[in-house]
């Protein structure tokens, strides 16, 4: 569209996000239980999915969970009792599937977010949350009018915030409890 506007594009993004609360498939209560019971949480995603999961990692850290981003120099090795939270639209991203395989081999549990529950990643995951979105290679426009995996990545941010919010509400802690005064670095 030669006359496309930002408000029109924003309306599209919002329209495609509407109804996400009723269209995510999978056992979200089991996902919450995995996160609540984890010794440590590791997050891993490639590209924009990885960036979206970093936002979730920060929120989970605000709850007091021990959280690591896979690939960071300070991330320890994953072990039994840990949860690996991963995202891959296709469920076939090589590095993500290999990380999930490694996690399961050492006794960690995998929580996956994808557009499908029939993939190598879903096969390794204890819980897979399926979001209604196109993968980055789907350019048909049938699942989303947005470019590549944009809808998936946006849904991943919203889902991460929803997981955080539910865990926060279950904790009974106030917003002030999550923002201690000594945490400010000047």
Catalytic residues: 153
Q: Token digits for 138?
A: 């789907």
* C-alpha dihedral sign at 30, 35, 41, 42: positive
Question: Collapsing DSSP states into helix, strand and coil, what is residue 120?
Answer: helix
Which region holds residue 10: left if phi is over 0, alpha if psi is between -120 and 50, else beta? alpha
Angle at 83 between CA 78 and CA 85, to 5 degrees: 105
Q: Which two three-digit tokens encode residue 110?
A: 């995998």
Q: Which two tokens stand for residue 159?
A: 């889902």
- Residue 153 belongs to what H/E stretch? helix 150-171
Residue 114 contacts residue 90 (beta carbons within 8 Å): yes
């Amino acid at each position: 569209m030669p006359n496309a506007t930002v408000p029109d594009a924003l309306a599209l993004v919002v329209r495609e996000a509407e109804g996400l609360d009723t269209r995510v498939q999978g056992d979200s209560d089991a996902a919450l239980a995995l996160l609540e019971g984890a010794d440590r949480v590791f997050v891993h995603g490639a590209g924009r999915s990885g960036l979206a999961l970093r936002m979730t990692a920060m929120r989970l850290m605000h709850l007091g969970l021990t959280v690591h981003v896979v690939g960071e120099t300070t991330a320890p090795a994953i072990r039994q009792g840990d949860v690996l939270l991963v995202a891959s639209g296709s469920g076939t991203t090589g590095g993500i599937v290999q990380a999930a395989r490694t996690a399961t081999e050492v006794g960690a549990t995998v929580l996956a977010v994808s557009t499908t529950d029939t993939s190598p990643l879903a096969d390794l995951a204890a819980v897979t949350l399926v979001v209604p979105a196109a993968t980055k290679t789907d350019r048909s426009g049938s699942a989303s009018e947005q470019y590549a995996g944009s809808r998936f990545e946006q849904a991943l941010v919203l889902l991460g915030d929803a997981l955080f919010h539910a865990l926060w509400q279950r904790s009974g802690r106030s917003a002030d409890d999550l923002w201690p005064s000594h945490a400010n670095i000047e």
